[in-house]
């Protein structure tokens, strides 16, 4: 009886270990359907030209729902999300299919007014650049964007602005029905859109000036998280990169000249190119088993390339990054 129990325990333990997969959370900063790039002149939803020099925010109390309603609760978790560093390794987790993500935008009130010097240098609540902490009384900046805006309609950005949103009452709870891309090594990667244009909705950047606080415009910006689609899932959520794929695909790029090269793609009918939001931005028809597709002027960002047969079967798909 003891031997049988030991065998069952060993079998169960082996199954659980094998069921563990690396889990990642990847925040993708967007302006409309395009990747948000720092120091690039763009237009907000009011038509005001501006360029951002820094964007950052805090999230906390992260929860991942998966596999029929199970929840991974990263208790007391705090993440400093910067446009410069927005991918987080969540460790090995017993997870197959991700279903939703929950988090709070901001720092929990229980630690928002703590001593910043008490944290180690690699902690998200330690000193950051640009500064995200405004003293024990004010606490941490929940959302920050610094930049330069156009103030007279000539598309020349000449008026600096700073929006630093603080305040315990401005923390916002977020729930997004989201999945994960499954990579060949078993990694589950959750791509989470951050729509900066929606976060800045109804704010006049040309007259914003310097706003460090918890009321007025700062509170309005944080309420946009509730009122508008600031955090969304990509339309191509849940792409499985671990299926029985046919052929071989490579993405080559040299500056603005990009090339998709494939081999062994039998019964190929068409190739489609999607951006990170899931919008199809281009496609070609091709029956070449071994072929290539040259693309000029592709904006920097993350893309997905999908190959379909003449019967509509998905033959292959891959992720491509254009610098």
What Cα–Cα distance (Å) separates residue 58 from each residue in 26, 38, 88, 168, 234?
Answer: 14, 19, 13, 12, 21
- Predicted confidence (pLDDT) per residue in 87-100, tens digit: 999 999 999 999 99
Q: Which residues does 13 contact at the CB level (< 8 Å), separation at least 6?
A: none
List the domains of the chain with CATH numbers.
2-232 (no CATH), 248-322 (2.60.40.10)
Nearest to 104 by CA among 130, 157, 146, 142: 142
pLDDT band at residue 265 under the 50/70/90 scheme: very high
- Please tell me the predicted confidence (pLDDT) of residue 8: 40
Maximum CA pair distance of the chain? 84
The token pair that represents 182 in the structure block: 């499954």
Cβ count within 10 A of residue 202: 14
Considering Cα of 35, then 192, then 114, then 167, what sign does the dihedral take? positive
The pLDDT of residue 257 is: 84
Q: Is the pLDDT of residue 294 over 60?
A: yes
pLDDT at 238: 60
Please state the three-class secondary structure of the chain as a single string.
Answer: CHHHHHHHHHHHHHHHHHCEEEEEEEEEEEECCEECCCCCCEECCCCCEEEEEEEEEEEEEEEEEECCCEEEEEEEEEEEEECCECEEEEEEEECCCEEEEEEEECCCHHHHCCCHHHCCCCCCCCCCCCCCECHHHHCECCEEEEEEECCCCCCCCCEEEEEEECCHHHCEEEEEECCCEECCCCCEEEEEEEEHHHHCCCCCHHHCCEEEECCCHHHHHHHHHHHCCCEECCCCCCCECCCCCCCEEEEEEECCEEEEEEECCCCEEEEEEEECCCCEEEEEECCCCCEEEEEECCCCEEEEEEEEECCCCEEEEEEEEEC
Reported pTM:
0.73
What is the pLDDT at residue 243?
52
pLDDT of residue 14: 38
Residue with tokens 């315990």: 168
* For the ranges 21-35, 113-127, 243-257, the one whose mean pLDDT is highest: 113-127
Q: Is residue 1 predicted with pLDDT exceeding 50?
A: no
């Amino acid at each position: 009886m003891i031997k049988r129990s030991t065998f069952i325990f060993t079998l169960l333990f082996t199954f659980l270990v094998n069921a563990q997969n690396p889990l990642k959370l990847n925040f993708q900063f967007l302006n409309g359907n395009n990747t948000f790039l720092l120091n690039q002149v763009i237009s907000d939803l009011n038509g005001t030209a501006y360029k951002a020099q820094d964007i950052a925010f805090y999230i906390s109390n992260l929860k991942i729902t998966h596999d029929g309603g199970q929840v991974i609760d990263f208790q007391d978790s705090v993440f400093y999300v910067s446009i410069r560093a927005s991918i987080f390794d969540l460790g090995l987790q017993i997870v197959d299919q991700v279903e939703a993500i929950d988090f709070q935008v901001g720092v929990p009130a229980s630690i928002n007014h703590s001593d910043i010097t008490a944290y180690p240098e690699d902690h998200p609540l330690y000193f950051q650049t640009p500064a995200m902490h405004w003293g024990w009384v004010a606490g941490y900046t929940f959302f920050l964007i610094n930049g330069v805006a156009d103030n007279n309609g000539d598309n020349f950005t000449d008026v600096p602005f700073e929006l630093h949103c603080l305040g315990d009452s401005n923390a916002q709870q977020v729930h997004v029905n989201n999945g994960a891309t499954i990579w060949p090594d078993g990694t589950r990667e959750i791509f989470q859109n951050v729509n900066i244009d929606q976060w800045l909705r109804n704010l006049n950047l040309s007259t914003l000036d310097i706003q460090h606080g918890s009321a007025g415009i700062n509170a309005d910006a944080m309420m946009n998280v509730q009122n508008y689609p600031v955090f969304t899932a990509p339309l191509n959520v849940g792409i499985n990169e671990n299926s029985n794929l046919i052929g071989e695909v490579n993405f080559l790029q040299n500056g603005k000249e990009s090339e998709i090269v494939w081999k062994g793609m039998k019964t190929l009918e068409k190739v489609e190119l999607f951006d990170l939001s899931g919008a199809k931005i281009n496609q070609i028809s091709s029956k070449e088993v071994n072929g290539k597709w040259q693309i000029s002027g592709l904006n920097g960002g993350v893309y997905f390339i999908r190959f379909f047969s003449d019967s509509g079967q998905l033959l292959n798909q891959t992720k491509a990054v254009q610098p």
